[in-house]
Each structure stands twice: as structure tokens, then as C-alpha cells.
Amino acid sequence: MLFSQAVFLPFLLATFLLWLPWRATGRKAVLLLASLVFYASWDVRFPALLGATWLIVFIVPPAVQRASDEAAKRRIQTAGIAGLLLLLFFFKYFGFFVDSTRPLLRLAGLPTAPGALRIILPVGISFYVFQAISYLIDCRRGRLAPSRSWLDTALYVAFFPLLLAGPIEKGARWMSQLQRYQPLRFDNLRDGVERMLLGYVLKVGIADPLAPFCNDIFGRVATAGSGELWAGAFAYSLQIFTDFAGYSLIARGTAKLFGYEVIHNFEQPYFSRSFSEFWRRWHISLSTWIWDYVFNPLMSALLRRIARWDLLTVRQEMRIAYPVAAMTTMLLCGLWHGAGFTYLVWGGLHGLCLTGERLLVYRGRTIPMRARLRGAGDVARFLVGLASTQALVALAWLFFRAASLEQVRYFVTHIVHWQGSDLAGRFAVMILVYAAMLLTLDLLEYRTRSEVYLLRLRPAMTAAVCMALLVVVGLYMATTKPLPFVYFQF
């Protein structure tokens, strides 16, 4: 079941009406049942994976708490995280691992025929496994007490608005909300509906119309002209952002209807002037997860080891530790997105850019999220940083979208060596129109400092705009075959 399928809104309405009459425990039970139905609509076998994930989440933290010594606590914790990662590895990476080892087997003279095993990738597994790991780590760090409620922990794993593609909530923040009673509030309904409508505007108004064009360009790289390839690269930058930001808004809006506040996942990432700023604005739930559970522990471990070398300054230690931590983290981030060498290269490019900025350009200075332009020099630096960052981001997206490294090489070669095309002008106009739509929406959010900026209008105007958007979105969903969200493949 897709958020953009016509069946979703009746499903959501039915869930809400069943949820409404109950109190705390009954409401959670309704949401859990709806979540299992929602996930089973993809494949009736998928809820079994949720059950395995829940079992680890429910058993491991109390077992760690009961353990008598630190060594036993570490062993139990490690076993729990390893079990979650094993689920993720088997369903997401096992096929990639087997395919990658075939060349080595050929060199060794061993048989390399493709096996009969075909593993289905369960949608959303990367997201709910990371959320489960967060809970285990936060309990171990003392940020929250392990829950003894099977219902709270099951809903923590399976809550349907976040199940398929996040946002990824952290254990301490999300479990504390699930443990509280969420009364019905008009403000929650109002904010939730507007978030959902704006999410649908991004998805069905920008991302879906761009999807066929992107598929066409990336499907015929060998015959497309340079102008078409440029248009395809920027079109995909627009598509992936509006598609995923649209999904996140719909998910956050749906959760808000039931009283839950989910982390803001995007904050105008294409306004970024550096890669460090980009990752503070792009997929915020993932970037903060990586920062908290991967990058910071890795940096701390590296700095402790480097400190034994008795270098002269802390800056010298940072210049050694930061590149290793940034590259390792971003390579893992690329691998999390997909089992393929293109994703590793994408992560490596981001790691290189983050390292270059840190050591050579900004030298540890933090770039504020809101630029202060006080003169011509500030404006020039802003424009240079914005243009260079977004050009490199668009280049890196090629590796994210392409089917192979060879396709990227061909893409870049034909962009650099210009080949004319009669369609380039028409495609450029199309990209500018959709870019202007996105820029308008982002500027409204940026200026108002609110994602529910429609509520700043007069009540009658807000109601009219929302009703018009609801009618348009409803007609689209009823008459058009929905396109899957891009991040469902991860």
C-alpha cells in the first residue's frame, strides 16, 4: 500500500475512526493492528520480520539491565545489535555479497553458476532495523529505561507512518512519545492535514511528473544529447528531493493526526553552501542517527588512539582523525542506501567533499543555516558556495541513480564533450518550471520558519486552499497509477 494509492486515504480514515473511541492501550492496539495490515499488504510474510525485530527490541534491553557485570552487558548488547544487522545483511546484502565473490571464485577455478536462491528485499527494512538499533543503544547509554510493555515496543518497531521509509526516530525520543497518552487535539488534526497535503503536492505535483523523464534519460544515455543529459541530471536532483521530502511530510502528517510529533527530515537542502550544511538539511533523521551512533563514537575512538602518539596540537590530531571518520561513515552511509558499487562511490564522494571542506576551506568553522549577507563580498561567497555545492551534489546523484559505474562514465563524458539536441530547449524549460515550483515552496518555508505556512493565512483562505489541494490530490490518486517512492528501494 502506497501513500499515493487511492486505497490509502480510506485505510487511514478507517484506522482513525477505530482509534478514536479508545483510551491509551486500546489506541495503541488499533495502531499496531493497522500497521501489521499495512505491512502485510506488501507481502504477507513481511510481518514475520517485524516480529523478529520486535523480539530483539523487547528482550535485549531488559536482559542487559539484569546482567551482573559490564562484560555480560556488552555481550548481550552486541548480540542484539548483531542479530538486527544479520537480518539486514541477509535480506539486503547477501545477493550483492554472492555476486561480488563470483570473480574471485572464477580465479580460483571454482564453479560460479548463479544459485537458485532469490531473496526478496522487504520494503523498509533498513529504516526499522536502524530504529531498533537506536533503541538498544539508547537503553544501554541510560537515555531511557527499557520498556516492559510488549505493546509499546511492538508499536515502536511497526508504527505504519514510519515503517516503509522513515523518518528514522531515535529510541529515547520516540519511545517516550509512545509511552504517553495522546489525546485528540484539533491542532494536531490541522497540522497533520496540511503536512500531508504539502507532501502530496511535492510527490504528485513535481516528483511523479519528473519520474518518466528521468527514466527516459537514464535509460538511453548512449543516444541522448549533452543538453538532455544535463537536464536529466538536474531533473533527478529535483525528483529525489521532492519524492522523499513529500513522503516524509505525508508520514509526519499521518503521525500527527494520532498525536505523535516525528522529526523534521528536510530543511531546504538545496539552499546549502557546503556539504556539512547539506547533511544538516538533507535526510536529517538519518544524518543525526549516523552522527550519534557512528561518526561520534568512531571519532572518539580514533582521537583516543591518536592521543597516544603525543602530537603537538589537538588540530593535528583532528586533521588525522576527521578524514578517516568521515570517509568511513559516508562509505557506510552509501552502503546503507543500496548494495552496489555505485552507492559506495556516492558515499565516498560525499566523504571526500566533507573532508576537503573541513581541512582546506572552512578549517573547522561551522556554516550557519541562515546566511547573513551584509555586502558584496558576502553575496559573492554565498553564490560561489551555493553553486559549487549544488553542482557537486548533482554530480554525486548520478552515481546514486545510475545502473552501473560505466553508465556514469558515459554520462559524464557526454556532458563534457558537447553534443547538440533539438529537445534540449524544451527540457530546459520543463526543469525551470519545476525548479521554480520547488523554490517557491522552499522559500515560503524558509521565510516563515514553519512547514505549516498555509496556516498563517486567514482561516477561510487556509480552508479554501487546503480543500482545493485535497480535491486535486484525490482526483490524481483516483485516476492515475501511483509511482513508488524512490526511497522504498533502500
Q: For the CA atoms of 69, 73, 74, 80, what is the dihedral angle to 10 degrees?
A: 160
Alpha carbons 49 and 122: distance in angstroms, whole number: 8
Alpha carbons 39 and 34: distance in angstroms, whole number: 9
Alpha carbons 416 and 414: distance in angstroms, whole number: 5
Alpha carbons 302 and 307: distance in angstroms, whole number: 8
Q: Long-range contacts made by residues 19-25, C-beta under 8 angstroms, separation at least 24?
A: 19/258, 20/184, 23/181, 24/181, 25/151
414 annotated active-site: no
Q: What is the DSSP letter of 262?
A: P
For 139, residues 6+ apart whose C-beta sits below 8 A from its C-beta are: 61, 64, 65, 145, 146, 171
Q: Among residues 273, 270, 231, which one has the least CA distance to residue 442?
A: 270
**Catalytic hit among 283, 337, 350, 414:** 337
Q: How many CA atoms lie within 13 A of 445 on its CB side?
A: 17
For 38, residues 6+ apart whose C-beta sits below 8 A from its C-beta are: 1, 11, 160, 163
Annotated active-site positions, please?
337
